[in-house]
Amino acid sequence: MHISSAHWRAGAAALLLAGLACASHAQYSTGGPYNTGGARPHRPGEAQAEGPQAPRTQSRWEQVSRRLFDLRVALQITREQGPAWENFRGRFLDMATSGPAGPRIVDEQTAKDAFQYLLADAQRRSNMLATLDATAQVLLAQFSPEQMQIADRALPGLLADYGGSR
């Protein structure tokens, strides 16, 4: 039986495509390109750990940063949208990872001091959210209708997870 070069090339191309499909599936089997939960997909060039290993707890910054990276991939942010995305990302990370305005010393506070502390913290968060909103409006204005649909599905949950009062 003789296999022609055309059949050989077609078979090799099919095998290559099957291999790429399997590699793509393996890369995103942890939740797809917009992975909002578990582990981050394995990226080329990264070593995978062999055997059982104690999971390292991620910092809040790492968690938020990972979710924003996944969202950027899902949105397919273009080069032109990059500066607006980075500005939004920076403000979102600031908001999501900021703690209280300063140390609370409850035992030494008067009632008036406690109210002033709460008011100052609320004003600080309000200013931070206003800045985030302004950067989000600039970014959203640059989105295609498809990107807007993805943002409409993803951003409310992200804001609920990281934008609420703590």
Full pLDDT tens readout for the chain, 166 residues: 555 555 545 554 444 444 444 443 343 334 444 444 444 454 444 455 555 666 777 788 899 999 999 999 999 999 999 999 999 999 999 998 887 666 666 777 888 988 888 898 889 999 999 999 999 999 999 999 999 999 999 999 999 988 765 4
The CA-atom distances, in angstroms, between 75 and each of 34, 44, 47, 82 are: 9, 21, 27, 11
Residues across the chain:
166
Show the tokens assigned to 21. 């499909």
- CA atoms of 118 and 103, how far apart (whole Å): 12
CB 87 within 8 A of CB 120: no
pTM to 2 decimals? 0.61
CB 75 within 8 A of CB 151: yes
- CA atoms of 144 and 82, how far apart (whole Å): 14
3-state secondary structure at position 131 = helix
